[in-house]
Amino acid sequence: MIDAILKTFKITAQHSGVSTGLKWLPANGDTLTSSSPVDGKVIATIQAASRENYDAVVATAQEAFHEWRMWPAPKRGEVVRQIGEALRRNKQALGKLVSYEMGKSLQEGYGEVQEMIDICDFAVGLSRQLHGLTMHSERPGHRMYEQWHPLGITAIISAFNFPVAVWSWNSMLAWVCGNVCIWKPSEKTPLTAIACQRIVEEVFAANQVPEGVCCLVAGNRAVGEWMANDTRIPLVSATGSTRMGKSVGSAVGARLGKSLLELGGNNAIIISQDADLDMSLIGAVFGAVGTAGQRCTSTRRLIIHESVYDAFTAKLVKAYGQLRIGNPLDEAVHVGPLIDQDAVAAYLDSIEKVKQQGGTFLVEGGQLQGAGYESGCYVKPCIAAVQNFYEIVQHETFAPILYVMKYTTLQEAIAMQNDVPQGLSSAIMTLNLREAEQFLSQAGSDCGIANVNIGTSGAEIGGAFGGEKETGGGRESGSDAWKAYMRRQTNTINYSTHLPLAQGIRFDL
């Protein structure tokens, strides 16, 4: 199966990881090895970008920007429309490659490609709506308005857990805005990036898009550091850990560049005494175990009203007993592997810290071994009863560990929800309108995403995606997130025969 998919995207066993969109360069950096967490097998090796490769790509992108920005936005949108059609044709193959290289379930792999298709559709419409405002001038015979111009190069640093979707959120919007893009994919999932590059390059070649609009520079941490410190790159969009985001943000800020940061989450669902417990169960379980707990929006904490705590945790324990763990390419499987054995080690370490800090397990965790688990990356989703203030609970572990705790009043629950360093996604399960509105009020959730009667995991393309506090403050995808990829310019036109000054100032000569 995997050999046929690699052939579909013209990926060889040893492949360059550097492309200018229309040309693959002989890469001479380190060698990256892509191994599947599904079975532990090496899929291919990738030759990463050297500093020489990187500088050549940036120079090509700079040159391309001068031409690409002059294409009418609807014409750029037409190119993105064709990318969406190409993704539709390749959805099955790309979705399977995502699942096999990253380890998420096959349905989630298909879903990730669908997100790419959806953002293409959104970006096509956006290409005809890059609008500014008009304002009345205080000076007679003057007109004021604002307009938006592209920034230049958008550098995109993506994470392994959504190896293609988040890149598309950034690139499709950046392209219709008139920017060019350089993508550094996660070193853990380079093949999906190469597959996307192959899809895009065919569309770009057919439309005579200039070389350098869509660039790929696979590599390790050093490539991201080059991007963060490069004054030729006005915007760096980075998705990953808070630690990584702080490093990128400080480097970009030091040169007064712009950064768009999508970092960690420590997401909670409040289960009210007025909740529909059956519906709540679905949101909680999928949120906690989907992608094996490796989503930035994964549900990490359940804050449960004391009156329904016992009943709801009993439902949880029963549901966890029905989870099927195994090969994610089997559509009957709920939970696939973690990305690698380092992730397994972090999971096991967190379990030990829970015990050391006083937590108890309602569902025990552990590493799975034996037939079907030879890669060493499979673990048991577990549930721990804890206190919100435990150090380990304040920390984001990218694994299927779910913390449960009790609350008495809604104000207490909201305070617990907010009392973590991260601020990405949040939810309340309640049929009480007053509780729902309080949760969404200015005194409610402090997260960038706040939901009622749906879980924390997942997001729709139409809304801006992102969070506050140590989540970084960035916004991607829908709403007016496109403004992050452009610069605002205020224009005043004097069509009178005089030059009056603002605020009535007189300067007579």
pLDDT digits (tens, 9 = 90+) for 482-504: 999 999 999 999 999 999 888 88
Task: Give the separation between CA 414 and CA 417, rounded to whole angstroms.
Answer: 5
Residue 68 has what pLDDT? 98
Read off the pLDDT of residues 212-252 as tens digits, 9 standing for 90 and up. 999 999 999 999 999 999 999 999 999 999 999 999 999 99
Give the number of C-alpha atoms closer than 13 A to the C-alpha of residue 206, restricted to the C-beta side: 12
Domain-located, residue 187: yes
Query: What pLDDT is recorded for position 1?
Result: 84
CA 467 to chain CA centroid, nearest Å: 11
Q: How far apart are CA 456 and CA 296, in angstroms?
A: 10
- The tokens for 321 are 């007993």
Q: Which backbone phi and psi does 391 adopt, to 5 degrees? A: -60, -40
Q: Could you write out the DSSP letters of every residue in 334-370?
A: SB---SSHHHHHHHHHHHHHHHHTT-EEEE---B--S
What's the CATH code of the domain at 44?
3.40.605.10
Looking at residues 450-456, what average pLDDT do you find? 98
The answer as to whether 33 is a domain residue is: yes
Is residue 235 a part of any domain in this protein? yes
Write the CATH number for 338.
3.40.309.10
- Rounded to whole angstroms, how far apart are CA atoms 238 and 240? 7
Residue 504 lies in a domain: no
Average pLDDT of the chain is: 97
Question: How many structural domains is the chain composed of?
Answer: 2
CA–CA dist 394, 391 (Å, integer): 5
In a domain, 508, yes or no: no
Pair (299, 175) in one structural domain:
no
Residue 496 lies in a domain: no
Q: How much is the pTM? A: 0.97
Kindly state the percentage of the chain with pLDDT values over 70.
100
Asked if residue 509 has pLDDT above 80, the reply is no
253 lies in the same domain as 271: no
Do 115 and 163 fall into the same domain?
yes
Does the annotation count 78 as an active-site position?
no
- Answer whether residue 507 shows pLDDT above 90: no
Structure tokens at 328: 């994610």
Same domain, 251 and 280: no
Q: Residue 39 falls within a domain, yes or no? A: yes
* Residue 203 shares a structural domain with residue 281: no
- Contact of 326 with 366, CB cutoff 8 Å: no
Q: Are residues 221 and 307 in the same domain?
A: no
Whether residues 52 and 201 fall in one domain? yes
Q: Which position among 101, 201, 262, 396 bears the catalytic label?
A: 262
Let me know if residue 317 belongs to a domain: yes
pLDDT category of residue 461 using cuts at 50, 70 and 90? very high
C-alpha distances in Å from residue 490, one per residue of 124, 125, 130, 222, 493? 26, 24, 15, 38, 10
In degrees, rounded to 5, the angle at the alpha carbon of residue 478 between the alpha carbons of residues 394 and 283 is 45
Q: Where in the sequence is the domain holding 38, given as residue range(s)?
A: 2-263+472-489
Does one domain contain both 340 and 300? yes
Task: Write the pLDDT tens digit of every residue in 249-307.
Answer: 999 999 999 999 999 999 999 999 999 999 999 999 999 999 999 999 999 999 999 99
pLDDT at 459: 83
Q: How confident is the model at residue 405 (pLDDT cuts 50, 70, 90)?
A: very high
